[in-house]
A = this chain, B = another copy of it.
Amino acid sequence: MPTTTPQPGGPTPQLFFQTANAYQQTQALKAAIELDLFTAIAEGNRSVSALGNRCGAAERGVRILADFLTIRGFLTKEGSQYALTPDSEVFLDRRSPAYLGSALGFLHAPKFIEAFQNMTEAVRKGGTVAGEAGTVAPEHPLWVDFASSMIPMMAKPAAEIAELVSRIQPAVKKVLDIAAGHGLFGIEIAKRCPSAEIAAIDWPNVLTVAQQLAHQAGVQQRYRTIAGDAFQKEFGTGYDLVLLTNFLHHFSAATCETLLKKVHRSLAAGGRVITLEFVPNDDRVTPPLVAEFSLIMLATTPEGDAYTFKELEQMFRAAGFTRTELQPLPGSLEQVLVSYR
């Protein structure tokens, strides 16, 4: 990351200007993805003129954009030749299986951008001003985009959680994936645990993404869906494992407790819940990139938050769980909680 020029003492307005202009970073990245600049570099177009030809863009435009992306850590520059950083190779070359460029469709959905444009009002109100329920409104169309967009990003955590689940003895049979979204978490478990049958609950428009993915993975025989709201729909009972990935942060602690009680009732003896969450430290300001997540919940949900481990543990205890363990997820900002019935 770029550092500020050392200041010989005295106050400096640089942080103010950097932050006031931070939106420009977002727009530069968006332009590079729209022009497919990263893929063009990966293909071997390393000079301004080659990139201009390949991207259909003016040399002045390409030069200034590529320099900016170098400054921001997406590219390297050697003389007048640009190259991708290792991270950009994996996530920003369109031909890479982990390509993330399409996630901008969700991350920059007009509803999201609008929620942040009304940040002042959201702070006054203490919750989103983007409609009554923000992005947690039933069947909000955002979540279909989200489901598809997040697949490359969630591949690694999903594989790691499946690995963890595959070590559980006796092997898990009945698995409930709450707010399954793209379905990746349940599907990865189905792939690694031949005895596992997955029930995925989500809004019907989102479930089509999960069903497709289950089919592609060849696990559709052990994959069924429950269309509807996780707070309303009957889960059934006898589950060995319930997945709660990236779900609790959308709701208040009281709402989470209500849901967890319902989850508790659905578990078989010896059953457990695996939760994936952004879990800041008790100070709520570290680790920075984890603690920052709260702001998104303020802007886009009525009562959501990034909860500390203490808060999450307390919710699970109040819902009847005997103990909750925290487990870091290598390479991810999120952490896994395992809660035992």
Contact = CB atoms under 8 A, between A and B. Distances in A.
B14 A289 contact: yes
Contacts of A27: 23, 116-117, 119, 299
A18 B289 contact: yes
A108 interface: yes
A323 interface: no
B87 A13 contact: yes
A151 B310 CA distance: 48
Interface residues of A, number: 96
B16 A124 contact: no
Q: Which of A24, A35, A70, A284 has the most CB of B within 10 A?
A: A24
A164 B299 CA distance: 48
Contact of A35 (B70, B89, B123): B123
A326 interface: no
B74 A15 contact: yes
B289 A5 contact: yes
A123 B57 contact: yes
How many chain copies does the complex carry? 2
A140 B22 CA distance: 24
A276 to B, nearest CB: 16
Contacts of A108: 20
A103 B26 contact: no
Interface string A34-58: 1100000000000000000001111
B26 A19 contact: yes
A5 B20 CA distance: 24
Interface stretch (A60-68, A189-197, A254-262): A60-68
A47 to B, nearest CB: 14
Interface of A: 1-5, 7-31, 34-35, 55-65, 67-68, 70-74, 77, 86-87, 89-92, 98, 100, 103-104, 107-108, 113, 116-117, 119-120, 122-127, 153, 283-292, 294-299, 303, 305, 330-331, 333
